Amino acid sequence: MLYPTIGLEMHAELLTQSKVFCTCSAAFGGEPNTRCCPVCSGMPGTLPVLNRRAVEYIVKAGYVLNCDISRFTKWDRKNYFYPDLPKAYQISQMPRPVCLGGYVDIVSEGEEKRIRINRIHLEEDAGKLIHDDASGETLADYNRCGIPLIEIVTEPDFHSAADVTAFVEKMRLLLQYAGICDGRMEQGSLRCDVNISLAEKGAKELGTRAEIKNINSVRAIGRAIEYEIYRQTELIENGEKVIQETRRFSDSTGETSAMRSKEDAQDYRYFPDPDIPPVIFTEEELEEIRLSIPEMPEKRKERYVSEYGISPADADTLINNRHVCLFFEEAAKAYDNPRNVANFILVELMRRINTGEADMDDLPFTAADLARLVELGDTDKINKSCCKDVLRTMLETGKKPDVICEEENLWIKEDLGAAEAVIDKILADNPKVVEQYRNGEQKVFGFLMGQANKQLKGAATPKAVKELLEKKLGS
Ligand code: ZN
Ligand code: MN
């Protein structure tokens, strides 16, 4: 029985303002070749200067992924010629990366697994080539040259597509919460190379591996692995050999195809980069960086469950989207009832987001506004059933909940005289129900409450209606 073994190399672009060795903007996009300078476009005689913030971010990544941080770290030149790399070498790290070792725990198909990290190093991104199939031309955009990149290399601890996709999802979340990468795979700020080989289960040596380069969605990663397991199984079972090579995955065909034979490390002729001095960390510097790391999603989840009494499933939904999670925390600060705030976000707000009526990145109101709405419902300022409609109006107009309640006349006015008259009439109209209740059938009380609330339309709070009704029924 053939058994797959998979290792990953993940590249994550760091969220720094400027590039890793010059002051050009590191933002995504821009008109082609407008964010370049002599340093990042590789002109001879220029001097790169290391971005401190990028170093800080890779150290954060190291702590989040339980790595050892090298107290002494240095940079090397990785030599290769490719049109997206005008210097003909990439500044990277070979023997002394910033982070060594480490691990991440994942849950794959209901089972807990620990994935070991081999290393994380800091390097520069290359440019982007745009191939125009129609004209046969290739254009080069060097805006991406020099954007700081961390490469996270795992041990070959994965054995299925599900293991890998669970890991990638988790990594994306961790890097987002740490504030060091936006995790936008569709923009290429998080990319994955997958090394995969097959061997008999329990075999001492791994099979020959193929590497699938730069897969840019979680779904595509899963599909590429499934396809590669199928392809290599066919080869081996037909007595053919798997070739060590780099392959690319096509989203449209769902298949991988050969790109080039795979280089080994010696092909890159790594040597120390004489332009970048080594970095030596003091314990104080490392401690300062460690303490600046925001609370990670698992810790938040624990807190929501133990302190707020939110169910583990709901807590998971909250933390699985950093945007939603931070919005929730801000709202819970504005109105101290985290359970009700969470519930309203998970049910009402998420429903609007899932239908596309609202966009979490572009809400027309603040977390405090949403908190206020929940509070208005909780404290009987407005009828709870109105909250949904107020939320819709908030989404449409961006108006404050208090303004909407005023304009739409939603305030509960607590007119007890009117409430009494309505209740008297209900009791008179339903003599049989009243008799049932007096004979001890408690459950009909709910029916009477429902009638009263419906007809009162917010003229009194549910609490006042209940008290009045109980008084009239003489209970
Ligand atoms: Zn530059
Ligand atoms: Mn790399």
pLDDT one-digit tens code per residue, 431-450 = 998 888 888 888 888 898 88
In angstroms, the CA 268 to CA 332 distance is 53
What is the pLDDT, as a whole number, of residue 207?
94
Pick 448 or 302 by higher pLDDT. Answer: 302
Q: Which residues contact 387 (CB under 8 A, 6 or more apart)?
A: 344, 348, 373, 374, 376, 377
**475 band by pLDDT with thresholds 50, 70 and 90:** low
Q: How confident is the model at residue 338 (pLDDT cuts 50, 70, 90)?
A: very high
For residue range 83-113, what is the model confidence (pLDDT) as tens digits? 999 999 999 999 999 999 999 999 999 999 9
Opening angle at CA 373, ends 367 and 379, nearest 5 = 130
CB-based contact 245:208 (threshold 8 Å): no
| Residue appearing with tokens 């010059």 | 22
- The pLDDT confidence band at residue 263, using thresholds 50, 70 and 90, is low
User: Residue 81 above 70 pLDDT?
Assistant: yes
Give the pLDDT band of residue 385 (cuts 50, 70, 90): confident
DSSP classification of residue 164: H
pLDDT surpasses 60 at 350: yes
Six token digits for residue 238: 């037909």
- Residue 287 banded pLDDT, cuts 50, 70, 90: very high
Question: How much of the chain exceeds pLDDT 70, in percent?
Answer: 99
Q: Considering every ligand atom, which ligand is closest to the CA of 90?
A: 2
What domains does the chain contain, in order, with CATH numbers? 2-283 (no CATH), 295-407 (no CATH), 416-474 (1.10.10.410)
Q: Evaluate if residue 264 carries a pLDDT over 80.
A: no
Give the strand pairing for 210-215 and 190-200. Answer: antiparallel
User: From the CA of 391, how far away is ligand 1's center (Å)?
Assistant: 46
Provide the pLDDT for residue 201: 87
The DSSP 8-state label assigned to residue 262 in this structure reads: P
Nearest C-alpha neighbor of 186 from the set 220, 213, 153: 220
Instruction: Kindly give the distance from the C-alpha atom of residue 276 to the centroid of ligand 2, in angstroms, as a whole number.
Output: 18
| pLDDT at residue number 262 | 64
Helix (H, G, I), strand (E, B) or coil at 72: strand
Ligand number nearest CA of 191 is 2
* Residue 1 pLDDT level (bands cut at 50, 70, 90): confident
Instruction: Choose among 203, 199, 181: nearest CA to 190.
Output: 181
Report residue 35 as tokens: 């964010």
34 C-alpha vs ligand 1 centroid, how far in Å? Answer: 10
Task: Over range 252-275, report the average pLDDT.
Answer: 86
pLDDT-derived band of residue 202, with 50, 70 and 90 as boundaries? Answer: confident
Listing DSSP states for 230-260 in one string gives HHHHHHHHTT-----EEEEE-TTT--EEEEE
Summarize the confidence of residues 21-26 as an average pLDDT: 98
For residue 181, pLDDT beyond 60: yes
Q: Which ligand approaches the C-alpha of residue 21 most closely? A: 1
Quote the pLDDT of residue 261.
Answer: 76
* pLDDT interval class at 418 (50, 70, 90): confident
* Higher-scoring residue by pLDDT: 417, 279: 279
Non-local CB neighbours of 81 within 8 Å, separated by 6+ positions: 88
**325 closest CA partner among 352, 294, 286:** 294
In the chain, the N- to C-terminal Cα span, in Å, equals 74
Q: Which ligand is located closest to the Cα atom of residue 23?
A: 1
User: The pTM is what?
Assistant: 0.86
Instruction: Give the whole-angstrom CA distance, residue 160 versus residue 154.
Output: 15
Show the DSSP H helices in 16-140 as ranges.
Answer: 52-64
Residue type, 192: C
Tens digit of each residue's pLDDT (9 = 90 or more) over 215-262: 989 999 999 999 999 999 999 999 999 999 999 999 999 999 998 776
pLDDT over 80 (residue 6): yes
Size (the chain), residues:
475
Least reliable range by pLDDT among 285-289, 378-382, 414-418: 414-418
Handedness of CA 386, 392, 397, 398 (dihedral sign): positive
How many alpha carbons lie under 13 Å from residue 62 in its C-beta half-sphere? 24
Q: For the residues 174-192, what does the mean pLDDT come to?
A: 96
**Which ligand is the nearest neighbour of the Cα of 86?**
1
Tell me, in angstroms, the distance from the centre of ligand 2 to residue 11's CA: 7
Provide mean pLDDT across the span 456-472: 81
For the record, the structure tokens of 376 come out as: 């208005």
Segment 15-33 mean pLDDT: 97
Residue 23: pLDDT band (50, 70, 90) is very high
Give the type of residue at 260: R
Q: How many angstroms separate the alpha carbon of residue 93 from the centre of ligand 2?
A: 9
From the CA of 19, how far away is ligand 1's center (Å)? Answer: 7
CB proximity list for 458: less than 8 A, separation 6 or greater: 382, 383, 386, 410, 411, 412, 413
